Amino acid sequence: MPRPFAGLADEPDWVALRELVPAATSPLRLSEKARAEYGDREIVLATVLPLAWPGLVKPDGRIFLGLQRQTRSGDVSRDLAVTLELAFATEPGSPVQIPPLPGRGARLQDLLSSDGLEITVRDGFDFWIDGEASPEVQASLERANASVVPTVRMAVAPAAYWCRFPDKAHVRWVLGDDENLALAALARLSRAGELTLGPQTRFAGMFRAHGLLVPVWDLPTGPAAVDWEEPLAAFAARYATAREAGVELDAEERRARAGLLTRQVALR
């Protein structure tokens, strides 16, 4: 499934939470039809759950749905949907047990309302534990917290996230446009020398994630995330203008496009 989150509100942020953000949560709301079948349970989307569990039902009945875990069917949306369906029949205080393959059935698009995500980026995974935890969960929490990279959701562009590693910082922006349109816009900006976020920054390249393009910028480690809001807003305005020209490119822009295709970056 090339774009498993297509049709969900905030598709780019679903991709970002799946691929970029270490620790974050968002409440989810069922559609009216799904509420009639399953009831109006409190559901929380989490980037990661203890021991990479696909789902967890808290002792008070809240359902936690883990986004960053191994998929089984080739359709992330279907894998998540079957986890959610099984969570409604799972005993409180237990992880959700899922089958080796989910089989045919509902996808997230069939179960969730059209509400957008209300994302809270977190410093760690302490939200896993409400009280005492088993030694296995406590050890998993400590390992997970130690691996968290400082990450901030940018305010000026949807699904754009700043993060800081020891040697450099990055802004990574999941573009919600069709890949051909996004690539054409980036090619125009590349041809015009307008891909950077300013002095001491570098357009590192891009990668594909669940059918969407994700450009990446290398930044110095000193400035905080808020210092990149204005440069990113300026780039977003340039990108929007370049996108309006459509997918047709002239010869020089096509060469720039070919150059961009060779600048694939890997996630760290």
pLDDT, tens only, 7-44: 999 999 999 999 999 999 999 999 999 999 999 999 99
Predicted pLDDT at 168:
92
CA 161-263-151 angle, to 5 degrees, is 15
Q: What is the pLDDT of residues 153-178, one digit of tens each?
A: 999 999 999 999 999 999 999 999 99
Instruction: Decide: helix, strand or coil at residue 64.
Output: strand
- Class of 155-261 per CATH? alpha beta
- Are residues 79 and 113 in contact, defined by beta-carbon separation less than 8 angstroms? no
Where helices occur in the chain by DSSP H, the ranges are: 11-19, 32-38, 76-87, 108-111, 135-147, 179-191, 229-243, 251-261
Q: What is the pLDDT of residues 238-254, one digit of tens each?
A: 999 999 999 999 999 99
Q: What is the pLDDT of residues 57-74, one digit of tens each?
A: 999 999 999 999 877 788
DSSP string, 106-163: --HHHHB-SPPP--EE-SSSGGG-SS---HHHHHHHHHHHHHPPPEEE-SSSTTEEEE
Give start-end residues of each CATH 3.30.1460 domain in the chain.
Answer: 155-261
Predicted pLDDT at 266:
65
Report the sign of the C-alpha dihedral through residues 158, 79, 24, 34, in that order: positive
Q: Which of 95, 91, 68, 62 minimizes the C-alpha distance to 80?
A: 68
Q: What is the pLDDT of residues 106-147, one digit of tens each?
A: 999 999 999 999 999 999 999 998 876 788 888 989 999 999
Can you give the pTM of this predicted structure?
A: 0.94
